[in-house]
Amino acid sequence: MAIRHFLSTLDWSRSELDGILTDAAELKATRKTARPAHLAGKSVALVFFNPSLRTRSSFEIGVFEMGGHAVVLEPGKGAWPIEYRDGVVMNAEAEEHVEEVARVLSRYCDLICVRAFPKFQRWEDDREDLVIRQFAKYATVPVVNMETITHPCQELALMLALKERLGTTDGKKLVLTWTYHPKPLNTAVANSALIIAAKFGFDVTLLCPTPEYVLDSRYMDAARASAAENGRTVTVSHDIESAYAGAHVVYAKSWGALPYFGRWEEEKPIRDRHQHFMVDAQKMSLTDNAFFSHCLPLRRNVKATDEVVSGPRSLVIEEAENRLHVQKALMKRLASTPSSG
């Protein structure tokens, strides 16, 4: 039987994702009184190539709360550096190949979760998502994306928070706004927010400084296809006032412009000219009393003001909390599926 990985929500239907969200809401509601041991006797490998606060904590604690055991591995820092490409002469830094890593971990564990950010040198390479795709190719247990070029667990957490507050998401307006950050950041969360919002029936406005900040066509096209299915729209805007007008949700994220991948010194002047994209109370006043959220970590008074982040419409803490619940529901589902290991 084919293994069901969780690499991107593009591979999962809205009703399947809704099922995970329903289960997550139930786990959340009953957490104080019941801790069903859905992972009893099971182990989960958490493989981190990049730093984390929320992802590491919420996965480790989620496994613990369901009676399982999590092992955290940091290749190149306590675990051997890994080669991902097939058929290469391994005479550089890597001590072992992902084929052995994924197959060995599959003999020990019931799930393998991977965080591997892009290298930020050539988008044409990074968009292949090689690290996690190679884990998925060689693993004989399900592989979960803990953020690569998308962040599907963050998508579930966001959507749970929005469903809790809005009830139905269909027909609501979500603005995905680029915000300033002094460094170019991963497009993963922006890609994810775009595709999940469109999948769940929002009218989505992508607000960004210039056309160069539009996201990869794979995600733009997928969002447009979902929107068409739902009778909704995806709009690209560079105009702050009209983008915020009437919004029910403002989701903020900073990301690097794809045409400048690996040439960040050329992108910096454009980014620096758009520091006014920071989310503030004046912009929020243009909305329909919108909720604000962000995946965190967030630089206050750079990406969004204190007033917005700590304000009554901010969902940043709820979204972060929901990481725990949605990942528990996801791991419960994936670990109960028979693997080929």
Site residues, ligand CP (CB under 6 A): 52-55, 147, 154, 295-297
Q: How many CB atoms lie within 10 A of CB 176?
A: 27
Task: Read off the amino acid at residue 301.
Answer: N
Separation of alpha carbons 325 and 58, rounded Å: 8
Residue 78 CB, nearest approach to ligand CP (Å): 18
Please state, in angstroms and rounded to a whole number, the distance separating the CA atoms of residues 226 and 15.
13
- Enumerate residues 6+ apart whose C-beta is below 8 A from 3: 136, 139, 140, 141, 142, 143, 337, 339, 340
CB of 138 closer than 8 Å to CB of 98: yes
Print burial letters for 214-239: b (CB count within 10 Å at least 16), e (below 16). Answer: bbbeebbebbbebbeebebebeeebe
In the block, tokens 């009703």 appear at: 15
Measure the CA–CA gap between 98 and 103, rounded to whole angstroms.
8
Distance CA 299, CA 201 (A): 30
CA distances from 207 to 175, 250, 254, 300, 319 (A): 7, 10, 11, 20, 21
Cβ atoms of 117 and 148 within 8 Å: the answer is: yes
Cα–Cα distance measured from residue 278 to residue 283, given in angstroms and rounded to the nearest whole number:
9
CA-derived radius of gyration, the chain: 20
Q: Are 52 and 148 in contact (CB under 8 A)?
A: no
